[in-house]
Amino acid sequence: METLTNIRTLTLPELKAYFESIGDKKFRAIQTYEWIWKKNAGSFDDMSNLSKELRIKLAEHFSLPAITTDATQVSSDGTLKSRFKTFDGHFIEGVLIPTENRNTACVSSQIGCSLTCSFCATGKMERKRNLNFDEIYDQVAQLNAQSEKVYNKKLSNVVFMGMGEPLLNYSNVLQAIDKITSNDGLAMSPKRITVSTAGVAKMIKKLGDDKVRFNLALSLHAANDAKRDSIMPINESNNIEVLVEALNYFYEQTKNDITLEYILLKDVNDTLQDAADLVKIYRKIPTHLVNVIEYNPIAGASFIKPDEDTTQQFTDYLVHHKVNVRVRRSRGKDIDAACGQLANKG
């Protein structure tokens, strides 16, 4: 059976050429393109200002493999977690995090993950495949629609902190961001987008070479190699020294914001010596912020979060040494929507 071309892989000029080839008017291409991107149509049947005959013809020649919302859970704090289903039957999760000043979409870039970070539920899943650029875009568009419906305002920010390692799906992530920031798409500012990586130094440098305009977050989580090796196997091939070099290169090329993410784990990385090691790294990188993150329990891991006193002492040490630090309290814990908890539990 012949595989139909995904219509969302066509540029507007290519779509115009197709309509010309079937003897139709060029403006039909513009209408179709708006349905695909700005209106986020889930099927050709949704394109109500196209004739039924034309919709049938499009369905015969093209596919429109949009993701669908399979289930949505609402947290007591207002966070919404959606489980999305892909055209080939896989599941991914996205989270809408509302606050007084912003509504943030946390989106996935892969089905599962290959990095096996020991504190992360997604890391315990098998990586099935990369998400296509339009599937990533779909998450943002659908979470934006959810934000407008539930909270009466558009998304203000997008973070690639869901399932998967974005820099191991490099081209699809960049293509999705290009469409999210395009006037043809959601027209969001790239400065409102942050891509989080566990630390793929080669691809961090490539972001610099490509002069990307969005922000970058490094999931550091330990400030010396021995500890980072033990909880993040990727550190064995992308150690802290290599990452520091890559982040400096990224900043030299782009001048974009860099954030360090640091999950506090009791008796693992929460001592004042760990804080001192973190200060040393902070001073080597033009980072604007350290996010100290509350650990969220997951099945199959024995980590626990430190008590409030330990967390306070850790952050006080950072502040005393002139580190710009913010404690990020978890949102959506009661529905497994918080940092590190995404595992398609529904």
Per-residue pLDDT of 136-160, as tens digits, reads 999 999 999 999 999 999 999 999 9
Return phi, psi of residue 190, to 5°: -60, -25
* List 93, 135, 165, 261, catalytic entry: 93
- Round the average pLDDT of the chain to a whole number and report it: 92
Q: Is it the case that residue 164 has pLDDT exceeding 70?
A: yes
In a domain? residue 303: yes
In a domain? residue 342: no
Place of tokens 């959810």: 146
Q: Exposure string (b/e) for 270-281, b if CB count within 10 Å is 16 or more?
A: beeebbebbbeb
What pLDDT is recorded for position 340? 47
Region 264-274: what's the mean pLDDT? Answer: 96
Name the burial class of residue 242, with classes exposed (0-12), middle (13-18) and buried (19+) by CB atoms within 10 angstroms of its CB: middle
User: CA angle at residue 283 from 212 to 254, to 5 degrees?
Assistant: 15
Instruction: Confirm if 113 and 122 have CB atoms less than 8 A apart.
Output: yes
- Helix 170-181 to helix 133-151 angle, to the nearest 10 degrees? 40
User: Same structural domain for residues 34 and 78?
Assistant: no
Domain boundary pick from 41, 63, 85: 63
User: Same structural domain for residues 42 and 178?
Assistant: no
If pLDDT is split at 50, 70 and 90, which confidence band does 253 have?
A: very high
User: Same structural domain for residues 78 and 27?
Assistant: no
Tell me the residue range of the domain where 220 lies.
68-335
Region 271-299: what's the mean pLDDT? Answer: 93
If pLDDT is split at 50, 70 and 90, which confidence band does 335 have?
A: low
If pLDDT is split at 50, 70 and 90, which confidence band does 331 have?
A: low
In a domain? residue 297: yes
The amino acid present at 287, given as its one-letter code, is T
CA–CA gap between residue 107 and residue 112 (Å, rounded): 13
User: Same structural domain for residues 92 and 50?
Assistant: no
Place of tokens 């139909």: 4
In a domain? residue 345: no
Instruction: Kindly report whether the global pTM for this prediction surpasses the value 0.85.
Output: yes
User: Same structural domain for residues 258 and 233?
Assistant: yes
Q: Is it the case that residue 274 has pLDDT exceeding 70?
A: yes
Check if 294 is active-site. Answer: no
* List 106, 113, 117, 339, catalytic entry: 339
Domains in the chain: how many in total?
2
User: Same structural domain for residues 105 and 125?
Assistant: yes
Domain boundary pick from 63, 91, 107: 63
Q: In what order do the strands lie in the sheet with 80-85?
A: 68-74, 80-85, 91-98, 103-106, 157-160, 193-197, 215-219, 258-263, 289-293, 325-328
In the chain, the percentage of residues whose pLDDT exceeds 90 is 83
Q: Is it the case that residue 338 has pLDDT exceeding 70?
A: no
If pLDDT is split at 50, 70 and 90, which confidence band does 328 have?
A: confident
What pLDDT is recorded for position 17? 96
User: Same structural domain for residues 88 and 52?
Assistant: no
What pLDDT is recorded for position 334? 61
E strands, the chain, are: 5-6, 62-63, 68-74, 80-85, 91-98, 103-106, 110-111, 129-130, 157-160, 193-197, 215-219, 258-263, 289-293, 325-328
Check if 117 is active-site. Answer: no
Q: What is the pLDDT of residues 297-321, one digit of tens each?
A: 777 778 899 999 999 999 999 999 9
User: Same structural domain for residues 202 and 147?
Assistant: yes
Q: Exposure string (b/e) for 8-17, b if CB count within 10 Å is 16 or more?
A: bebebeebbe
Return phi, psi of residue 68, to 5°: -120, 150
Q: Is it the case that residue 344 has pLDDT exceeding 60?
A: no
In a domain? residue 177: yes
What pLDDT is recorded for position 346? 46
In a domain? residue 344: no
User: Same structural domain for residues 45 and 79?
Assistant: no
Q: What is the pLDDT of residues 35-50, one digit of tens each?
A: 999 999 999 999 999 9
If pLDDT is split at 50, 70 and 90, which confidence band does 296 have?
A: confident
User: Same structural domain for residues 246 and 314?
Assistant: yes
Q: What is the CATH number of the domain that holds 40?
A: 1.10.150.530
User: Same structural domain for residues 207 and 254?
Assistant: yes
In a domain? residue 180: yes
Q: What is the pLDDT of residues 196-247, one digit of tens each?
A: 999 999 999 999 999 999 999 999 999 999 999 999 999 999 999 999 999 9
What pLDDT is recorded for position 14? 96
Q: Is the dihedral of CA 133, 135, 140, 142 positive or negative?
A: positive
If pLDDT is split at 50, 70 and 90, which confidence band does 76 have?
A: confident
Instruction: Confirm if 145 and 40 have CB atoms less than 8 A apart.
Output: yes
CA–CA gap between residue 200 and residue 282 (Å, rounded): 18
Instruction: Confirm if 103 and 153 have CB atoms less than 8 A apart.
Output: yes
If pLDDT is split at 50, 70 and 90, which confidence band does 342 have?
A: very low
Q: Is it the case that residue 291 has pLDDT exceeding 80?
A: yes
Q: What is the pLDDT of residues 177-205, one digit of tens each?
A: 999 999 999 999 999 999 999 999 999 99
3-class secondary structure, 59: helix
What pLDDT is recorded for position 299? 73
Place of tokens 């115009």: 16
| DSSP characters over 283-321 | HHTT-SEEEEE-----TT----PPPHHHHHHHHHHHHHT
In a domain? residue 135: yes
Q: What is the CATH number of the domain that holds 110?
A: 3.20.20.70
Domain boundary pick from 47, 63, 79: 63
CA–CA gap between residue 338 and residue 343 (Å, rounded): 11
Q: What is the pLDDT of residues 88-119, one digit of tens each?
A: 999 999 999 999 899 999 999 999 888 878 88
User: Same structural domain for residues 49 and 78?
Assistant: no
DSSP classification of residue 130: E
CA–CA gap between residue 39 and residue 26 (Å, rounded): 19
What pLDDT is recorded for position 275? 98
